[in-house]
Structure 1
Amino acid sequence: MAIENAEEITLELKKISDQVKEQGEKALAEAKKAGDMTKETKSTVDELLVKQGELQSRLAEVEQKAARRGAGGDQNQHKSVGEQLIDSDDFKKYTEERNYKRSFSFPVKAITSLAASAGDGVAPDRLPGVQALAQRRLTIRDLISPGRTGSNLVQYLQETGFTNNAATTAEGARKPESNIIYDLKQAPVVKIPHFIKASTEILSDFPQLQSLIDIKLRYGLSLVEEAQLLKGSGVGNNLNGIYTQAAAYVAPLVVANATRIDILRLALLQAELAEYPSTGIVLNPIDWAGIELLKDNTGAYIFANPQSLAQPALWGRPVVTTQAMGVDQFLVGAFQLGAQLFDRQQAQVTIATENEDDFVNNLVTILAEERLAMAVYRPEAFVKGKVTPV
């Protein structure tokens, strides 16, 4: 059996050295007595010297392997669990005994990031691309009539009063005079911009990143745009939103034990009495879910069908859900007739290194911006209020 352990080789080498010393003393005594050592003694000494040389070479080889393992870490950590099991002395002894009724256990090191584990032998499975954050579905722009402008201000005449004195008149009598009052309204063009910094190297090394940034920047503009179209304050550099200008809900008639559905129907009636039949209903997703989940005394849904693929609708009008609308708030109205959007500059993305700091630091500025205005022709065409009955 080959000796591979340095301690065993050293011990065997010491035994050989002692034997060589013993045979050397014997040969010296024979030489003094007979003038030369015997042939048998010479053969023994030669064999011992050869064996001593082999053991010295083997010891040097084992020490070199140990030194390499010390410099490069424990090689056993790169072996699989099966290889470690088969190479273990305990397993070899277990198979030699052939007593398979006796259980055998083999300790396995935990796979961690420590140098003594097998963790660094497991390569990560890197998926391609970037897993982006979820994006909100944007809907308000699609409800409003589209338009374009080449100016920084949109002006329009709004009829604010009409006195209708039309009447039957006798022959030769003076004809009645009616009166129409107009007011000049204006909708300023506002700008919505934002930008992000990026290194020129990453854009060159990861071309897909530039398109992802473009998409994300454009989405950021649309997200703010929807909030402005719906609830812009009209103060400073803000659009005057539809909800901001809409007429407050005042029930045209009293309904006993009114529900959310009743309130929305009465709001539609209020807009219709203002001569602007509504074309849509805007709700927060939470409020719409509450309406869809209404049940009767038998547990059946009042009007919703869970298996239906139809688009959300109520009282014949489409229901648009958006988180830009607050919880327990609603907006109904004649969207295309009562409001119009004017694009001065549609969303565009520009990349530049004109800034001196960007140029010397290998950075680029990626800018996205848009300019738009919105005119709410008839605020009374929209009705706002709380969904929950008081």
Structure 2
Amino acid sequence: MMTKSKLSDLQTAALAQTKTARDLAEKAGEEGRALTDAEQTDYDAAMAKGRDLLEQIKVAKRDLEILEEAKSLAAEIGEPAVDDVEAQGERPIRERVKSLGLQVIESEQFKSVLAPYKGGRIPEKARIQSDPISVKGLFVGGSDTSAGAFVVNEQTGIVEMLGRKPLKIRDLVSARRTGSDTVEYVAQTSHTNAAAVVPEATSSAPPTAPGSAGALVLATGGGYKPEGSWAFERRTAVVKTIAEWVPATKRALADVAALEGLINDELAQDIAEAEEGQILTGNGSGENFTGVLNTSGIQTQAFDTDIFVTVRRAITKARVVGRVNPTAIVVNPAEAEAIDLARDEMGRFYYGGPFAYGPRTLWGVPVVESESQPAGRGTLGDWAKAVVWDREQTTVTVSDSHADFFIRNLVAILAEKREAFAVTRPPAFVDVDLAA
């Protein structure tokens, strides 16, 4: 029989287990450290026992509530019924509760319906109507005060994060390593091609001095070769830091094993998204990269007739002026959709429609879809002429040294990446206007 004293014993045991777990956590927190393996094992065991005892307490409380409810009803009926309930208390609760059918046929309302008929048999064509039959012992699964109190939500451990945009641009550019905070590179600024067919020399006479100041006069028939010219300049790219941090409690990281890994992954994704935006649209101010679209010297192409004609003209500029074969054109999803849905005068899709497979191209140039690309614009070029120099790959560190985090058992989880970026040949890129 479940008694109040037994319930009290369960509650005392449960409190002892939770105190053990709390003492272990508080000790580690006061010492500014994580739980040791042995402490973690003891902590997990205490919490498991505490949860088990809590379930037993819930069942015991419900048993006592049912018994008290029965006693109260019996008290209203009279002394014999009270004695009967007391006697039932010696048996398990499942044996004490009558079945629903038994409660109905033993009710006064049901007996009064059968009273007019001999032998308790109701004629086949008889029509009867009774007062509502009240059954107080009905267990209702949807009620928190009945059987619903025993329903526990299932936790699957699966965390569904918000969706992220696909990242494509980092894969297009050149990636190199650097061990410095500043990268220097040399870029050619001009080139004069003077190469020509040269006749064989017919005279060995040396150049003669001019009559007045000036260059030497070359002898006729000397077979001199033409001189070309190149010009270069030194340029620099400064390493920048992309970073983000979030706070967390030590207890949260200790109690939820997957939380730290989840935070690390999400922070790394945030850094990657910021990196892609900087590579394409960084404005060069402060600690921002000078992105492709804000680099001085890139070419532009105005909208002409439609997307297809405009892109073809941009390809010509990249080849003739930039002296490169474009490797990709980056477009916004809206423009990518317009390309896919383009049809001829007979309603046929130019690109094979919804059942076409294979990479999307325009005039043989791969089309890359990116949400980082501003709507109505495309960036075409040889993306190998844009370079990322990695100084430090993305790292994630945890520390309690921020502000007053040490005395509050808080930690800062920091992700950062250091790299430099530059467009080494600006004319290799064309900023294309795709909006009609």
Distance 1:127 1:198 in 2: 22
Between stretches 294-303 and 341-350, larger displacement belongs to 294-303
Q: Which amino acid aligns with 1:359?
A: F
- Name 2:250's counterpart in structure 1: 200
Aligned: 1:156 with 2:185: yes
Between stretches 137-146 and 292-301, larger displacement belongs to 292-301
Partner deviation per Cα, 1:30-85 (whole Å, 9 max, x = no partner): xxxxxxxxxxxxxxxxxxxxxxxxx4xx44666999xxxxxxxxx9xxx9xxx667
Question: Alpha-carbon deviation of 1:183?
Answer: 1.9
Match of 1:358 among 405, 413, 435: 405
Aligned: 1:288 with 2:346: no
Aligned: 1:249 with 2:293: no
Pair 1:264–1:98, CA change in 2 (3 A)? farther
Distance 2:390 2:123 in 1: 86
Partner deviation per Cα, 1:120-158 (whole Å, 9 max, x = no partner): 343223222311121221111110111000111111111
Question: Alpha-carbon deviation of 1:224?
Answer: 0.2
- Name 1:214's counterpart in structure 2: 264
Aligned: 1:147 with 2:216: no
Tell me the matched-pair count: 322
Distance 1:322 1:99 in 2: 81
- Name 1:260's counterpart in structure 2: 307
Q: Which amino acid aligns with 1:9?
A: G
Alignment of 1:1-390 (within 5 A): 5-9=74-78, 55=80, 58-59=81-82, 87-88=103-104, 89=107, 115=145, 119-167=148-196, 171-172=221-222, 176-245=226-295, 247-250=298-301, 258-274=305-321, 275-336=323-384, 338-355=385-402, 357-389=404-436
Distance 2:403 2:425 in 1: 49
Question: Alpha-carbon deviation of 1:222?
Answer: 0.2
Kept in 1, the 8 Å contact 2:282–2:288? The answer is yes
Q: Which amino acid aligns with 1:351?
A: V
Structure 1 unaligned spans of 5+: 11-54, 66-74
Q: Which amino acid aligns with 2:178?
A: T
3-state SS of the aligned residue for 1:135? coil
Question: Alpha-carbon deviation of 1:311?
Answer: 2.1
Distance 1:293 1:197 in 2: 46
3-state SS of the aligned residue for 1:301? coil
Cα RMSD (Å) of the superposition? Answer: 3.6
3-state SS of the aligned residue for 2:387? strand
Structure 2 unaligned spans of 5+: 1-72, 115-119, 199-219
Distance 2:251 2:412 in 1: 13
3-state SS of the aligned residue for 2:188? strand
Pair 1:387–1:123, CA change in 2 (3 A)? same
Partner deviation per Cα, 1:161-195 (whole Å, 9 max, x = no partner): 22344455662376654432222211110001111
Kept in 2, the 8 Å contact 1:6–1:62? The answer is no
3-state SS of the aligned residue for 1:249? strand
Distance 1:141 1:90 in 2: 82
Q: Which amino acid aligns with 1:353?
A: D
Q: Which amino acid aligns with 1:209?
A: L
Pair 1:9–1:298, CA change in 2 (3 A)? same
Distance 1:199 1:244 in 2: 41
Which TM-score applies when normalising by structure 1? Answer: 0.71
Question: Alpha-carbon deviation of 1:9?
Answer: 2.4
Q: Which has the larger radius of gyration?
A: 1
Which TM-score applies when normalising by structure 2? Answer: 0.64
3-state SS of the aligned residue for 1:215? helix
Pair 1:261–1:150, CA change in 2 (3 A)? same
Q: Which amino acid aligns with 1:138?
A: L
Between stretches 219-228 and 121-130, larger displacement belongs to 121-130
Question: Alpha-carbon deviation of 1:293?
Answer: 0.5
Q: Which amino acid aligns with 1:308?
A: A
Q: Equivalent pairs: percent with the same residue?
A: 30
Question: Alpha-carbon deviation of 1:347?
Answer: 0.5
Pair 1:62–1:221, CA change in 2 (3 A)? same
Q: Which amino acid aligns with 2:408?
A: N
Partner deviation per Cα, 1:357-387 (whole Å, 9 max, x = no partner): 2222212221110100112111110001221
Between stretches 120-129 and 361-370, larger displacement belongs to 120-129
